[in-house]
Amino acid sequence: MRPSAKLGDDIFYTGNSSMHIALEVNACDPKSLNRRLTTHCIVIMVAVDESGIKVTVPEWIPQTDKDKQQHATAIKLMEMRKKIGGKMQIYV
- Single pTM value for the model: 0.70
Q: 91 in a domain, yes or no?
A: no
CB 18 within 8 A of CB 47: yes
CATH of the domain at 10: 3.10.129.10
Q: Give residue 16's region: left, alpha or beta (phi > 0; psi -120 to 50).
A: alpha
**pLDDT recorded at residue 12:** 87
pLDDT tens-digit readout, 29-87? 888 888 888 888 888 999 999 999 999 999 999 999 989 998 999 999 889 888 888 77
Position 5 pLDDT exceeds 70:
no
**pLDDT recorded at residue 4:** 66
Q: 92 in a domain, yes or no?
A: no
State how many domains the chain has.
Answer: 1
Cα separation, 43 vs 87, whole angstroms = 21
**Which is higher by pLDDT, 22 or 89?**
22
Q: 89 in a domain, yes or no?
A: no
Residues 6 or more apart from 78 whose CB is under 8 A from it?
A: none
Q: Which domain holds residue 54?
A: 4-84
